[in-house]
Amino acid sequence: MKNLTVGLALTVLLAACTGVQQPPSTASQEQPVTTLALNPFERGPAPTTASLEATRGPYATTSTSVSRYRVSGFGGGTIYYPTTTTDGTFGAVAMSPGYTATQSSLSWLGPRLASQGFVVFIIDTNSIYDQPSSRGTQLLAALRYLTGSSDVRSRIDPNRLAVMGHSMGGGGSLEAAKTNPALKAAVALTPWNTDKTWPELRTPTLIIGAQSDTVAPVASHSVPFYTSLAATLPRTYLELRGASHFAPNTSNTPIARASVAWLKRFVDNDLRYSPFLCPAPAVGTTYSDVRSSCPFN
């Protein structure tokens, strides 16, 4: 018994002298922190240039039509959304076509954005002649319908909403962002509006102009819109080299790439997309003018 006691004492003394410690219990061991744990809004795998430029993202999608007779405040439209029910809720984007146009003019963007992890609502307006202020009001009405009574409302995070549009619809997206500063992002494609200054916007804003636009010339629309935005606001202006006002009406990789990255960064707060926005792309064969407030906080 005496020998056992001495042996135990020597073992304890040796451990103290050599710094040997018992390993902590499994429950107290530090677990690795994933980016998803830091940001629960991340959806899909880490992005690459190829994934941003692909015509379809990682999510299978479907769509549902919404009759203008089922809604109020706008003219119905089509909702595109991921089919999965295991990845939580998604951010939502309402999109308006331009003057005299219908939802079909932007239909290529529906599944392209939805497959990246968004619920996308491309609307028809009450009248094809509606002005930007009316289109902005209708975009907000569409978001209220999406989150409040649509068949896909359970798939949407009502706190992560954005607006997007072409031509007068692009001008409408600026109007919507002015009215509702809680919007997470606005994307204006070759936008048109009689209001040239937007210092009151608090929504991160991407403006894509077209160098050869004769309907909404960049010198009197896109550029002054961009330069009027607050210097502290996350903002980017991309001007498509040689493109016309109607560039957003057909599949366009630079538009899709920039739009996906912008929506991911600001609707999903997904910092994995920051390198695709900042530093801003260089002027070259794709863009004739580039301006940005990079880096974004």
Q: Would you kindly state where each structural domain of the chain is located, as residue ranges?
A: 47-292
Tens-digit pLDDT profile for residues 148-195 = 999 999 999 999 999 999 999 999 999 999 999 999 999 999 999 999
Dihedral (CA of 70, 122, 221, 186) sign: positive
Hey, what CATH class is 47-292 in?
alpha beta
pLDDT of residue 171: 99
pLDDT of residue 22: 41
CA dihedral 189, 190, 196, 198 (to 10 degrees): 20
Spatial distance between the Cα atoms of 140 and 174, rounded to a whole number of angstroms: 11
Q: Please check whether residue 138 is in contact with residue 122, taking contact to mean a CB–CB distance below 8 angstroms.
A: no
* Segment 234-254 mean pLDDT: 99
Catalytic (active-site) positions: 167, 213, 245
pLDDT of residue 36: 58
Residue 29 contacts by C-beta under 8 Å, 6 or more apart in sequence? none
Q: Please check whether residue 110 is in contact with residue 251, taking contact to mean a CB–CB distance below 8 angstroms.
A: no
* Segment 53-80 mean pLDDT: 98
- Name the one residue in this structure whose structure tokens are 């301006």: 291
* Segment 41-69 mean pLDDT: 97
pLDDT at 136 over 50: yes
Q: What is the mean pLDDT of the chain?
A: 91
Widest pairwise Cα distance in the chain: 101
* Segment 268-288 mean pLDDT: 98
